[in-house]
Structure 1
Amino acid sequence: MEPGGFLLVIILMTSLVPGLVIFFLREQQFALRTFFNLGGAGLKLALIISLLVGVYRDGKTYSFTLNLLPGIDLVLAADALSLLFATLSAVLWLVTTIYAIGYLEHSPKRSRFFGFFSLCVSATVGIAFSGNLVTMLIFYEILTLATWPLVVHRGTPDSFRAGRIYLAYTLIGGAVLLAAVVWLTVLAGSQDFTAGGYLRDLYPEHEWALPLLFVMFVVGFGVKAALLPLHSWLPRAMVAPAPVSALLHAVAVVKAGAFGIVRVMNDVYGIQLAADMGMTLPLMGLAILTVLYGSVRALFTQDLKRRLAFSTVSQVSYIIIGVALAGPVGAVGGLVHLVHQGVMKITLFFCAGNFAETLGIHRIEEMRGVGRRMPWTMAAFTLGGLGMIGAPPMAGFITKWYLGMGALEVGQGWVIGVLLVSSLLNAAYFLPPILAGWFGRPQHHWSQDRFRDGLLETHWMLLLPTLAVAAMALGMGLLASLSISPLYWVTFIVEFEYGYEHIWRAVFEEVDP
């Protein structure tokens, strides 16, 4: 174990321990539950920041190993890619916790909700810091079990139906992933993730098994990443409360699936081996079909949260396109979208929750004129929607710019046409609610208006997190050339973790004035 490896365990405990304590709190113990929720989220973020300082400023390494069985280890490790995902999870968990406290203020079963909420984040951070496939599989399955109670939290027939579908998809995907991990462990042993992969020497001997295993990994992780045709659980899960929807789409489940595919591509097979096996082009084709299918379904969906869900089906696959392009600039575009999509999508789900909780708005046609009553929330929704379209200077523009550059770099210029069609579809389903919200004529006087919070348009614990993540989505685009930006960090990952020595100049000579 490297010095300081226990810090990784402590980071996991900052959400696991509060979650277990919260289960035993009475519903009336609001202050104590809030203390554990916010205290755990704040401490996790502080510890991850200290980890970042240790890795990037002081050059420390962090790893923790626990032997589970002969030849099978649970390994936690902090590399650049894991820190990217863990930091995103910690930041968005903190703002989602604040939002959830306000959203569920008068709801029953809050202790159960926040207990599983914390366990879900523990599993997500465990996936981020997993140092090998066995460890990732363990936390991946814990994530499934922790999120199911959140999906069915309302206890309605619709929520239980959605929960059954969610469980069916994810358990089948988990079974496929388990089979793939066991098979690969038999072939290669239990090896730690390695930048550039560790299977190159096995390919000549197992030239039929490794491609089949690759497909199994894509299926296993692709269920949570909502790749076509494994996506159907995601729109149905929108019966869950808005904080759960935000967690599923921006922080935990779909990101865990996409992150798993990135890990397999980069740190198990390696991009070059995946390309040599002929796996990258079919994977990119599947991701492109998912992008277009999700956009078309969103266009013809009038329920606001379901439209956002189909948008997630589409948008998460940009990450897969980026890594499947098998070039450094495309990898930058895909990995930076891991962050950008999370921030933009959580903004949109927070806005949808504000509309529903304050005015009872659930459908697109009900948004007419809502900007007059809730201008701050509508402004945040506008920024999130423009970001998903890819309009400058939003974070989504940075993603699509580098995906396009990456496609040209590897001679796949036709991908730019896909990005253009996708952006037009994004505009077709985001601009109508934006225009209706600002310029439409209200059909009523908001007789369902549930509360104001002093001078604010809704409860401050709903509004302030929404404005914070909307500002982040704008700032990540405006400040993309600065060293604090996700683009800067992702470029570091691609250059120094995966050996693309020219990528720093290729990216930042284009960005810096």
Structure 2
Amino acid sequence: MEADALRIALALVIPLVGALGIGLSGRHPNRREAVTLVTAVLLCLTVLSLLPEVLAGGRPTWHFAEPFPGIAIAFRVEPLGMLFAAVASLLWPINSVYSIGYMRGNAEKHQTRFYVFFALALFATMGVAFSANLVTLFVFYELLTLSTYPLVTHKGNAAARSAGRVYLGILIGTSIGLLLLAIVWTSVLAGSTEFVAGGLLRAAGVQLSGPLLGLLLFLFMYGIGKAALMPMHRWLPAAMVAPTPVSALLHAVAVVKAGVFSVVKVIVFIFGIETLQGVPWAQWLLYVAGFTVILGSMIALRQDNLKKRLAYSTISQLSYVVLGAALLAPLSVVGAALHIAAHAFGKITLFFAAGAIYTAAHKTEVSQLRGIGWRMPWTMGAFAVGSLSMIGVPPAAGFISKWYLMAGALETGQLFAVAVIVLSTLLNAAYFAPIVFSAFAKPAADDDAVHGEAPLPIVLALTATAALTVLLFLFHQVPLELAGQLVGEPPGSR
């Protein structure tokens, strides 16, 4: 096996071996958590070892198997997949530290099962990120859904089981009923399911236009239910019954990012930006994404439960990525790719802070947070940083991605997209700024029992992700280089 193939194989095998090790050490919590941390760090180092070659223009490849003629399980590391895998693998060790503090601090049951399925979810995430074709993407997309289901239903109560049914029903229903049909149709049209720079359909000379092109785009976009385009978004707020580390996994590290990653990958590598430009039957996606951005923000504004507010914020923020891809401009696609990373760091910080508040103060509602900033300064300081990133204010990473999204909207003359970005930014401020203001500027209730921060692992983790949110703003050259290569810019051009 060549060195490139070996590193891709290791990125897939390490989480699997880690899951096995976690399961075998379940009776010894310290050993189990040590295995979790070592596995997460090894995966991160393995994934980052691929980065220099991708930045230099290389595309590491591994052809694993061809179970049926013309249907291969194969992997190729291209810039968008590299960015997604790097973000997920970098956040896993931090999430693991956080999980140790949270699961112990709240005396959660079935902790070994939790860590095992978390590792399996990262295995599936790596498979999605490095997929070389639609078949491989579909296999690992489904594995990601199945491996996260036990995490969503972790508490085992009626609410968790109900949320699990919604989660599986929507995600499996859309992928089997729509995405699989789109993949089969694409294979028939193009004679392949390979991801091709410039677009598979364009490279294969497929002459698909009018309503049929719009229908194929619809099957892909709504078949990728993890992207949470309305009305296929209900699974996401329903899944908030899970423990906070799972919410962080769903919203920042794996599931929703796999959704919007797949959306961008399909538009760029299956259809091709030039194929969809100026096609009236492809314009619907821009308006659906814009509608989801605005309505998600408006619903978030009405939520008093902190995790639900963050969940609807995620629905809105995900559609920034879809909006950027739907604008079909190089600058907007760069913004979409950058927003995958910016949202990951900012939103995981916000969920970490919500979990810290629950662990230390057992508060779950926004209306309960007045004055808490001075009693939990590290937590609420990190929350403020994450909020700035969601709003798009420097020096947080969200500013960079929104800048490119706005530039792409102006470049294409899409005033609708400009209006969506401006209005949603104001709405973001409306539902995040009052939380920070109330936490630091209003007095605490007389009976407030908050005595300090959450356990140290939780505080360390949320401080780290807040710092990464700022560092991504200051040092964004590497993700910008990867995003630039995605739209055809040569290595080192930025």
Fold similarity call, TM over 0.5: yes
Output the CA distance in 2 between the equivalents of 1:156 and 1:469.
31
1:56-135 aligned at under 5 Å gives the runs 56=55, 59=58, 61-105=60-104, 106-135=107-136
- Taking a change above 3 Å as real, the CA distance of residues 231 and 179 of structure 1, as seen in their structure-2 partners, is same
CA distance in 2, matches of 1:495, 1:197: 12
Answering whether residue 40 of structure 2 is matched by residue 41 of structure 1, we say yes
Whole-Å separation in 1 of the counterparts to 2:484 and 2:205: 30
* Distance in 1, Cα, partners of 2:146 & 2:23: 16
- Secondary structure at the aligned position of 2:65 is classed as strand
User: Aligned in 2, Cα 1:393/1:279: closer, same or farther, shift over 3 Å?
Assistant: farther
CA distance in 1, matches of 2:165, 2:266: 28
Distance 1:283 1:495 in 2: 23
**Contact 1:348 1:384 survives alignment (8 Å):** yes
Residues 109-508 of structure 1: pairs in structure 2 closer than 5 A:
109-175=110-176, 176-200=178-202, 201-204=204-207, 209-221=212-224, 223-447=225-449, 457-480=453-476, 483-484=477-478, 486-496=479-489
C-alpha separation in 1, matches of 2:239 and 2:289: 21
Task: Please list the CA deviations of residues 313-346 of structure 1 after superposition, one character each: whole Å capped at 9, or x if unmatched.
Answer: 0001111111111111111111100100011000
CA contact (8 A) 2:59 2:78 kept: no
**Distance in 1 (alpha carbons) for counterparts of 2:210 and 2:286:** 21
What per-residue deviation string (whole Å, max 9, x for no partner) do you get for residues 19-72 of structure 1?
A: 13323433x411221122011110011111211133335947333331111111
Label 1:141 to 1:427 Cα distance change in 2 as closer, same or farther (>3 A): same
CA distance in 2, matches of 1:50, 1:382: 33
Asked if the contact 1:23/1:111 (under 8 Å) is kept, the reply is yes
| TM-score (normalised: structure 1) | 0.91
Over aligned residue pairs, what C-alpha RMSD do you find?
A: 2.0
What is the alpha-carbon distance in structure 2 between the residues aligned to residue 113 and residue 364 of structure 1? 28
Kindly state the Cα deviation for residue 208 of structure 1 after the two structures are TM-superposed: 5.3
The corresponding residue for 2:51 is: 52
CA-to-partner distance for each residue in 1:383-425, whole Å, 9 max, x for gaps? 1111111122221111221111111111213422221110111
Tell me the SS of whatever aligns to 2:449.
coil
* TM-superposed deviation, 1:488: 3.8
Tell me the distance in 2 between the aligned counterparts of 1:5 and 1:156. 43
Q: Which amino acid aligns with 2:487?
A: V
The code of the aligned residue for 2:407 comes to M
SS of the residue aligned with 1:66?
strand
- Quick check: 1:148–1:167 contact (8 Å CA) kept in 2? yes
Q: What SS class does the counterpart of residue 198 from structure 2 fall into?
A: coil
Whichever residue aligns with residue 212 of structure 1, its letter is: L
Give the distance between the partners of 1:232 and 1:52, measured in 2 at CA. 36
Task: Note the residue ranges of structure 2 that are not aligned, 5 or more in a row.
Answer: none
User: How far apart are 1:496 and its partner, in Å?
Assistant: 2.9
Paired residues of 1:8 and 1:64 also in contact (CA < 8 A): no
- 1:235, 1:310 within 8 Å by CA — same for their partners in 2? yes
Code of the aligned partner of 2:19 = G
CA shift in 2, pair 1:205/1:442, >3 Å: closer
Q: Is the 8 A contact 1:368 1:441 kept in 2?
A: yes
Change (3 A) 1:147 1:110: same
Superposed displacement of residue 490, structure 1: 1.9
**Deviation (angstroms), 1:225:** 0.9
Change (3 A) 1:206 1:382: closer
Q: Percent identity?
A: 41
Determine the structure 2 residue equivalent to 1:511.
Answer: none
Q: Is the 8 A contact 1:335 1:490 kept in 2?
A: yes
Measured in 2, the distance between the counterparts of 1:279 and 1:253 equals: 28
User: Unpaired runs of 5+ in structure 1?
Assistant: 509-513
Deviation at 1:2, TM superposition (A): 6.0
Secondary structure of the residue aligned to 2:64 is: strand
Q: CA separation of 1:279/1:380 partners in 2, compared to 1, >3 Å: closer, same or farther?
A: farther
Over residues 446-501 of structure 1, what are the superposed CA-to-partner deviations in whole Å (9 max), with x where a residue is unaligned?
A: 4365xx6xxxx221110011011101111222334xx34x234323433437xxx9
Once the two structures are superposed, what CA deviation does each residue of 1:131-164 show, in whole Å capped at 9, x if it has no partner?
0000000000001100110001011111111111
Worse-matched range after superposition: 205-214 or 345-354: 205-214
Q: Which amino acid aligns with 1:146?
A: S
3-state SS, counterpart of residue 74 of structure 2: strand
> Does the residue aligned with 2:50 lie in a helix, a strand or coil?
helix
Question: Distance in 1 between the 2:12 and 2:384 partners?
Answer: 35
Assess, with a 3 A threshold, how the Cα gap between structure 1 residues 414 and 217 changes in structure 2: closer, same or farther. Answer: closer
The count of aligned residue pairs is 490
Report if the CA contact (8 A) 1:351-1:378 is conserved: yes
- Match for 1:101: what amino acid? I
Contact 1:322/1:333 (CA < 8 Å) preserved in 2? yes
